[in-house]
Structures are given as C-alpha cells and as structure tokens.
Amino acid sequence: MKPARRKQEGRWAWRLTGFVTLCVYIFMFAPIAATVILSFNASMFGGFPMTGFSLQWYGKLMANEAVLAAFRTSLWIALVTAAATTAIGVVTSFALVRFDFPGKQALSTLVILPALVPETILGVGLLVLIKAVDQPRTLLLLVLGHILLAVPYVVLITQARMVGIRRVYEEAALSLGASRFSSFREITLPLLIPAVVAGALLAFTISFDNTSASLFWRPAGVETMPTQILSMLKISISPEINALGTVMILVTVGIPLIGGVLMQSLTKLRRRGEPKEEAK
Amino acid sequence: MKNRWTLYDPRLAWMLIAPVLLLLIFFLVLPIAVMSVYTFFTFVTAGVETSALTTANWHEFLTDSYYHGFLLKTLRVGAVTALLCGVLGYFPAYFIWATSFKHKWLLLLLLIVPFWISFTIRTFSWINILGEQGVINVALIKLGIVSEPLPMLYTEGAVIMGLLHFLLPYMILNVYVSLESIDRTLIAAARSMGCTSAQAFREVTLPLSLPGLAAGLLLCFVLAAGSYVTPQLLGSGRDALFGNLIYDTIMSELNWPMGATLSIVLFVVLGFFAAIYTRYMGMSQIVKGLGG
C-alpha cells in the first residue's frame, strides 16, 4: 500500500468514528429533547405535531395532589438515603483502605454486589424475608433498601479518593496528641470532601430515581415519584407527564451540576490559602 | 483501654464496618438465603403458602416450557443488547480518548448526565419518538412516505432500543477507562516500527482495551437481563422479560414460592455468567468501570 492511501484510510476510519459518536450522542439525547419540547405543546394529546405553545400542563401538574405528594415522599427518602449512605460509605472505605482485617477482600466484593444483582431479585428477596418474619412494609424498610442500592457507588467513590490521601497526615495529628476522632474530622474528612459530596449526590439520585425495587418495597398506598409516573403511564401518555418529566430532569440534572460548580469554586478558594496537599 | 489498642487495630476496623456489614447481611445475604428456602415451600392459594417442603416449584420450572421460553428470550435480549452496546459504545469511547478536542470533559459530562435523569423518564421518552404520534411516525406521514403510522412501539425492537439507551453510557465509560490506562507510547512505538494506524489499533489498542469491553459487556448483559421497567413501558405483553415474570408471579398471582424460585433461577443464571467473567478477568475492571 502506498503511504498516501494509508493516510486516506486512517482519515476515513477517524471520520467514521466521529460520525458514530455523533449519532450515539443524538441517540442519547433526542428522546429527552422530544419530551421537553412536547411538555410545552398546547395539544390535548401527548404527541406530535405541536399545535401551539402553552404552559397549561405545568399549571395542571402543580395542582395534581398525588404528584406533589409523591414528589415530597421521594425527596425525603432521597435526602435521608443520601445522608445515611454517605456516612456509612465513608466509614466503610476508611476501614477498607486504612485497616487490615480478616475477610477484607470478601467484604470489598460483597459491598459492590448490590450494584450487580438485578433489582428485581433484591426486591423479591427482601419481601420474602419480611414475609417470613411477618413484618409489614414500612418507609424505614424502603429507605434502608435504597441505602443498600446506593452503598456500592458511595464506597467506590470515597475509596478511590481515600487511597490518594496519605496516612502520614493522620498519623502526624495522632502523634501530636489528637484523638482518633478529631484526627479523622480535622485531617481526613476535609481532604475527602470532594468524594463525600460526589457520593452524596449520587446516592440522592439513585434513591430519587429508583423504580423496580421501590415497586416491591414501598408500603401500601405510598407512591414515590418514579412509581407515580409508572402508574400515570398505565393510563396514557399525556402532556402532563411530559411536563412532569421536564421538571424532574431540571431537578435531577440541576442539583449535581450546581453542586459540582459550587465544589469547584470552593476548592479554588481553599487552594489559595493552603499549601499543596494532594499527593498520589 | 484505648491505649492498649494498636494504631490500626482490627477491632476498630470491625466497629467501622459494622453498619455496612449489618446492612449487607440483613438486606442482601439473608434475603437471598431465605428466598432459597422459600423455593421449597408449598403454594396453597394466592398469598398463602405452608412451610411443608416440596420440590414442586422446581419441578414446575424445570418441566414447563413456558418458563424456559421466558429464560431463553431474556438471555437472547440481554445478549443482543450487550453486543449492540459493545459495537456502538466502542466508537464514542475511542473518539473521546483519541480526540484532540480541548473540552473533552464536556463529552464525558454528557455521558454522565443521563445517569442523573430518571430512568423511568428516559424510558418513557421513547414513546415520544417511536409512538403513533411520535417524531418518526408524524414526520413520515407528513412527508407522505407512509399513510398509516408504523407499529414501532410495543415491540421487542423498542425494548432493545430502550435498554440500549439506558446501558450505552455504562459501556462507553467502561471502555474509556480501559483506554485511558493504555500507555500511549506503545502506540507511538508500533507506528514508528512501521505499523499503519489500522494495524496499530488492531495489534495494540484493541487488545489492551478488551478488559474494559468485557466488563462493559458483562454489565450490560446482566442489567439488561434483569430489567423490569423497560419491557413494561416499551414492550407489549409478548415482550415481557424474566423480571416482569417474577413481578407478576409475586405481585399479581401472589405465588410467593414460585416467585422465589424464579428469582433464584435468574440469580444463579446471571451469577454463572459473572463467575465465568471473574474467572478470567477478575473483579477489578468492573470496580473501575462502576466507580469511573
């Protein structure tokens, strides 16, 4: 083959790669864009063509008591899940990174299993267990279940960061007379903050989005946001659902984005006053 | 008392892992154990079962082709989805890795954004694309290409498309993480020894990125085969997968022993594939992919 032709081939391969990439990105976002656009449709039916611009579906949504109740339920569950999972996750990864104990390897495998086992199985399993011991389904159970689903991600995120924090800092604090707790609070935790925030946000969205497992675990009569959407979809796809989807997208994409921006400006502010601390 | 403890005392470690251990035992290990026992319970009538041990549930599962059909269809849909994810996901991962585009982080961020958008919303949004009043049908009718809306929604194709939409970011991130760990000087070395870019890709880049691809394939396969919401929203009754079968058996028929049996079957079958994978590849790549 002549070099010129070779080069040509490479360029075509690269163009093809770029083209497929573009298609994949369009594929990822086209349905979401369609939903957002349709939420402003004046038509009675949830579909194209657009017949005019209208905010009526948002108004209708705000008056829908069932949706608002589900939103509040999901919000509370997600907040509690995020706080609890982050606390558990940080403590767990501290133990996994800093300590040596029998069964450590087994625990680090076990801890990521909830992310790999299908939710249907986790859902049925917990239901069978509480049926066997004759307990009712409660909100507490739902929250604990969500914590289980979010824990692998929080542990993985905080663990990755914890590995990069050298233990000499903590040991220096200890040797200077700090208690274990204050050395953790004053040294380890501040260095871990980016991972803590990322983990908490992820735990929040995992809980807020959870559908399959929540269908099994929710107490009778309680709807979370996703199960509410699911039961609304059983009737038909209405413009109201598109409006609801748009609001949810704004909330769940907005919160992490704002959080991320805040974190970045926060660390920038901190960096100014501090000597370089990160060493991998 | 405190002074007698060594600096990294295992006893302190146990106290630190106690919460997560309790959670995993009571919400993961014990449920699956109890569920295994439940598969041998006797089903009396809807919602009622006795603890008289029987193999009837297993017998029913093993002999009734109704269940076999479900299992095979679920594995087929999972495999097709995973393979499509692999093919379609490799290009973007490679593109992001190799591009000289300055704002690479933006491309990566766009892959993470879907994880934040509710899965239910992402799934039902396909109705707006594929439905009778969706973008495609309305456009085709306006252009006069078809006179009747094409039946695209509530088919197996729609289910696979929905799964693809949900799983592609997992695949792309897995492959990307694996590509990122390649030492780029290896490719430069291959090129300097006379490889064409295609040869360098085939001989160096592709083999070194296989671990990420394999992790992505396993993840996509397991998540697709365990899905419940996607077939529920985008498929017809005929496109229901094993997850839907389990849900209906428990929530509608209230046949708990059979539901437990089916759950254990799915658990064992998917676990079998995961075990083959870890036998050859280990767990580390999956961990990297999930955490990335």
ipTM: 0.87
Nearest CA in chain A to B109: A257
What distances in angstroms separate CA B206 from CA A189, B179, B218, one per listed residue? 40, 9, 18
Q: CB–CB of B228 and A120 under 8 A?
A: yes
End-to-end CA distance of chain B, in Å?
41
Domain A61-273: give its CATH architecture.
Orthogonal Bundle (1.10)
CB contact residues (below 8 A), chain A span 162-221, against chain B: 171, 174, 180, 205, 208-209, 211-212, 215-216
CB atoms within 10 A of CB B289: 23
- B233, B133: one domain: yes
- B168, B282: one domain: yes
B112: which residues sit within 8 A by CB, 6+ positions away? Answer: B169, B173
- B156, B272: one domain: yes
Of A17, A113, A174, the CB nearest to B95: A17
Cβ atoms of B23 and A122 closer than 8 Å: no
- B81, B189: one domain: yes
Q: How far apart are CA A120 and CA B47, in angstroms?
A: 19
Cβ atoms of A111 and B36 closer than 8 Å: no
In a domain, B153, yes or no: yes
Percent of chain B with pLDDT strictly greater than 90: 47
pLDDT at A198 (0 to 100) = 87
Cβ atoms of B237 and B231 closer than 8 Å: no
pLDDT at A5 (0 to 100) = 62
pLDDT at B1 (0 to 100) = 47
Where does residue A215 rank: exposed (0-12), middle (13-18), buried (19+ CB within 10 A)?
A: buried
Of B20, B129, B247, the CB nearest to A92: B20
How confident is the prediction for chain A on average, in pLDDT?
Answer: 86
Q: How far apart are CA B90 and CA B209, in angstroms?
A: 10
pLDDT at A277 (0 to 100) = 47
pLDDT at A81 (0 to 100) = 97
Domain that holds residue B128: 64-291
Q: Within 13 A of A2's CA, how many CA atoms are on the CB side? A: 3
3 state DSSP class of B229: helix
Q: How far apart are CA B96 and CA B108, in angstroms?
A: 8
Angle at A84 between CA A79 and CA A85, to 5 degrees: 100
Q: How far apart are CA B179 and CA A267, in angstroms?
A: 29
Q: How far apart are CA A36 and CA B70, in angstroms?
A: 35
B70/chain A closest Cα distance in angstroms: 15
- B21, B165: one domain: no
In a domain, B46, yes or no: no
pLDDT at B199 > cutoff 50: yes
The tally of domains found in chain B comes to 2
Q: What is the pLDDT of residues A144-178, one digit of tens each?
A: 999 999 999 999 999 988 988 888 888 888 889 88
Q: CB–CB of A121 and B266 under 8 A?
A: yes
How confident is the prediction for chain B on average, in pLDDT?
Answer: 88
Of A30, A144, A215, the CB nearest to B23: A144
A231 shares contact with chain B (CB less than 8 Å): no
Of A92, A159, A256, the CB nearest to B116: A256
Selected residue with higher pLDDT from A251 and B127: B127
B106 shares contact with chain A (CB less than 8 Å): no
Cβ atoms of B48 and B34 closer than 8 Å: no
- B97, B1: one domain: no
In a domain, B183, yes or no: yes
Give the CATH number, domain containing residue B277.
1.10.3720.10
Tokens of residue A133, six digits: 């011991």
Q: How far apart are CA A167 and CA A188, in angstroms?
A: 9
Of B172, B228, B291, the CB nearest to A160: B291
Q: How far apart are CA B60 and CA B58, in angstroms?
A: 5
Nearest CA in chain A to B142: A49
- B118, B196: one domain: yes
Selected residue with higher pLDDT from A81 and B194: A81
Q: CB–CB of A98 and B127 under 8 A?
A: no
Q: CB–CB of A128 and B31 under 8 A?
A: yes
* Residue A41: strand pairing partners: A53
In a domain, B205, yes or no: yes
**What are residue B226's phi and psi, to 5 degrees?**
-100, 5
pLDDT at A279 (0 to 100) = 41
- B168, B271: one domain: yes
- B179, B233: one domain: yes
Instruction: Please compute the mean of the pLDDT values over residues B148-170 and round it to a whole number.
Output: 91
In a domain, B45, yes or no: no
B151-188 exposure pattern, b = at least 16 Cβ within 10 A, e = fewer: ebbbbbebbbbbbbbbbbbbbbbbbbbbbeebeeeebe
Nearest CA in chain A to B93: A21
Residue spans of alpha helices (H) in B125-228 = 127-130, 135-142, 156-180, 184-192, 197-200, 206-225
Provide the whole-model pTM.
0.87
Percent of chain A with pLDDT strictly greater than 90: 40
Tokens of residue B16, six digits: 């630190």
- B132, B78: one domain: yes
How many CB pairs lie under 8 A apart between chains A and B? 278
Selected residue with higher pLDDT from A153 and B278: A153
- B5, B89: one domain: no
Instruction: Please compute the mean of the pLDDT values over residues B194-199 and round it to a whole number.
Output: 82
- B25, B157: one domain: no
Please give the single-letter amino acid code of residue A278. E
Instruction: Please compute the mean of the pLDDT values over residues B66-73 and round it to a whole number.
Output: 93
3 state DSSP class of A274: coil
A49 preceded by a cis bond (ω within 30 of 0): yes
Selected residue with higher pLDDT from A46 and A238: A238
pLDDT at A271 (0 to 100) = 65
CB contact residues (below 8 A), chain A span 16-45, against chain B: 16-18, 20-21, 24-25, 27-32, 34-35, 38, 45
